[in-house]
């Protein structure tokens, strides 16, 4: 006669299985962190077109932004926490536990937190990290307002210094534009069904995108007040014989930047020969309203598979305009600014026909939705079960926080 297991017995069996799976998952996360650390250390992620290491991790693993940042944070400080990393590889410590440690623990605290993490929950570890004594900030002179610019070969950097009251106004304006951009992004990429989110969509707008939108809004407001009522434009000079371009009163442009700026009607182009201006860009480069509506009717979103962006799209010439490509419906596709830049940098390739373009990456593989996830071919990691933290209430009165070493004065 069979006996029905009691709820306690059933829980014991289920918890044993959970402990085994948790240990395997921790070991797998440990290996993922090592791979990401190698990608970051050797700067391999720059060849993917991703904006950052967390963005690459979220794309390739199909994971959330928060989880991707946790993986990237641990990978960035992997060499500082060898014991914690070993705990992950052995299945004893979870990614969330080590992620909290890597995000805020002081230098030299690896041994302290590797021991504590064996019994503490993620919340308790977060409290322990907060209890670390922090060095007192040095007294500083009053803030002087300044805006400085430094230019390099491929980019320019701006540094803005404001007192707190003016910085609060700037932050509020920046946050307002960021909220608007995120709302538009969510509207473009929301999934009404249960299908997997594509990895080819552009990343969520960030502070840099909000800052550029703030600048553009200021341009538009100023254009309304000016008598001529024209929006500020970017002026590019192109040498028709040498195929070289430069910004007006500015630096030289690379091939990718020149093609990007002359592709859509986003700038004013002046052609030169032997240093003399011979004319402006031909008017057929501009996409008129009638042609724009036809493009939007044919393809209402970015042509890159899985992107889904519908706002701020660029009309891209499949055969580049400077190579004689016509500005007509059979040679134009709409793509978002993010993928437009990727194309002109060589990260993706766009080929015709325009009504069903083929988008490939730098290796010639066709882009599509989905992540790198696939059914495993090997066996799970051979690690002991991970029962998890004790779950006991922490008595912080008796806890001794990690004491960072004072910096050497030698």
pLDDT tens profile 266-305: 556 666 666 665 554 444 456 777 777 788 888 888 888 7
Longest dimension (CA), the chain: 101
Q: Are 239 and 253 in contact (CB under 8 A)?
A: no
- Residue 283 confidence (pLDDT): 41
pLDDT of amino acid 81: 94
**Which H or E run contains 369?**
none
Q: Which residue has the tokens 């400080």?
A: 77
DSSP code, position 311: S
Phi, psi torsion values for 19, nearest 5 degrees: -65, -40
| Strand runs labelled E in 281-380 | 314-317, 332-335, 348-351, 358-361
SS3 assignment, position 305? coil
- For residues 113 and 354, give the distance between their C-alpha atoms in angstroms, rounded to a whole number: 57
The string of pLDDT tens digits covering residues 142-190 is 767 788 878 777 778 888 888 776 777 788 888 888 888 888 888 877 6
Torsion of CA 246, 247, 251, 257, to 10 degrees: -70
C-alpha 174/C-alpha 48 separation (Å) is 29
d(CA 344, CA 306): 19
Does residue 194 fall inside a structural domain?
no
Q: How many domains does the chain have?
A: 2
Q: Last residue of some domain: 130, 162, 188?
A: 130
Does residue 135 form part of some domain? no
What does the alpha-carbon distance between residue 268 and residue 188 come to, in Å, rounded to a whole number? 30
Tokens of 288: 């008129």
Distances (CA, A) of 59 to 183, 193, 201, 202: 20, 20, 9, 10
> pLDDT at position 264, please?
56
Do 12 and 126 lie in a common domain?
Answer: yes
Got the DSSP string for 71-112?
HHHHHHTGGG-HHHHHHHHTTSS-HHHHHHHHHHPPTT-HHH
Residue 62 forms part of a structural domain: yes
- Domain boundary among the residues 302, 324, 346 is at 346
- Asked if residue 333 is part of any domain, the answer here is yes
In a domain, 224, yes or no: no
pLDDT, block means (10 residues), the chain with 410 residues: 78 88 91 93 71 80 87 93 92 92 90 90 90 71 77 79 77 85 79 54 82 78 49 60 64 66 59 60 58 82 76 82 76 85 82 84 70 70 78 76 68
Closest CA relative to residue 338, chosen from 8, 19, 49: 49
> Residue 123 — φ and ψ, nearest 5°?
-65, -40
Gap between the Cα atoms of 331 and 326, Å rounded:
6
Is residue 396 assigned to a domain?
A: no
Residues of the chain by 3-state class (helix, strand, coil), percent to 5: 45, 15, 45
Of 71, 100, 130, the position where a domain reaches its end is 130
Is the Cβ–Cβ distance between 299 and 330 less than 8 Å? Answer: no
Residue 84 lies in a domain: yes
Q: Which domain holds residue 22?
A: 7-130
How far apart are the C-alpha atoms of 39 and 59, rounded to whole Å? 14
Structure tokens at 217: 């809004």
Whole-number Å distance between alpha carbons of 86 and 383 = 12
Rounded to whole angstroms, how far apart are CA atoms 295 and 332?
Answer: 8
Would you call 404 exposed, middle or buried from its count of C-beta atoms within 10 A (0-12, 13-18, 19+)?
middle
pLDDT of amino acid 96 = 93
DSSP state at residue 335: E
Assigned domain for 46 exists: yes
CB 97 within 8 A of CB 85: no
Annotate 126-170 with DSSP letters as a single string. Answer: HHHHHTS--PPPPP-PPP--EEEEEE-SS-EEEEEE--HHHHHHH
């Amino acid at each position: 006669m069979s006996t029905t297991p009691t709820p306690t017995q059933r829980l014991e069996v289920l918890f044993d299985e959970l402990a085994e799976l948790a240990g395997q998952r921790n070991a797998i996360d440990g290996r993922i962190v090592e791979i990401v650390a190698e990608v970051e250390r050797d700067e391999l992620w720059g060849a993917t077109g991703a904006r950052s290491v967390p963005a690459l991790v979220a794309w390739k693993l199909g994971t959330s932004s928060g989880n991707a940042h946790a993986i990237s944070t641990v990978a960035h400080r992997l060499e500082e926490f060898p014991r914690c990393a070993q705990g992950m590889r052995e299945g004893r410590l979870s990614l969330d536990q080590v992620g909290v440690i890597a995000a805020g623990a002081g230098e030299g605290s690896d041994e302290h937190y590797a021991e504590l993490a064996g019994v503490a929950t993620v919340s308790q570890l977060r409290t322990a990290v907060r209890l670390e004594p922090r060095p007192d900030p040095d007294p500083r002179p009053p803030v002087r307002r300044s805006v400085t610019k430094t230019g390099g070969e491929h980019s320019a950097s701006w540094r803005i210094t404001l007192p707190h009251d003016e910085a609060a106004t700037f932050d509020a304006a920046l946050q307002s534009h960021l909220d608007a951009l995120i709302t538009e992004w969510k509207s473009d990429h929301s999934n009404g069904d249960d299908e997997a989110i594509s990895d080819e969509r552009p990343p969520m707008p960030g502070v840099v995108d909000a800052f550029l939108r703030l600048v553009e809004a200021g341009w538009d407001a100023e254009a309304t007040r000016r008598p001529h009522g024209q929006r500020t434009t970017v002026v590019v000079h192109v040498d028709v014989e040498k195929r070289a371009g430069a910004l007006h009163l500015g630096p030289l442009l690379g091939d990718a930047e020149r093609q990007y700026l002359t592709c859509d009607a986003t700038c004013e182009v002046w052609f030169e020969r032997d240093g003399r201006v011979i004319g402006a860009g031909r008017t057929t480069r501009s996409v008129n309203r009638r042609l724009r509506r036809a493009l939007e009717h044919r393809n209402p979103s970015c042509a890159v598979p899985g992107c889904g962006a519908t706002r701020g799209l660029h009309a891209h010439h499949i055969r580049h305009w400077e190579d004689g490509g016509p500005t007509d419906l059979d040679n134009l596709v709409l793509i978002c600014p993010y993928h437009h830049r990727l194309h002109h940098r060589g990260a993706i390739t766009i080929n015709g026909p325009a009504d069903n373009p083929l988008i490939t990456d730098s290796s010639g593989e066709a882009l599509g939705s989905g992540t790198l996830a696939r059914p495993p071919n090997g066996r799970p990691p051979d690690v002991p079960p991970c029962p998890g933290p004790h779950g006991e209430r922490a008595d912080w009165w008796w806890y001794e926080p990690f004491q960072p070493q004072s910096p050497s004065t030698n």
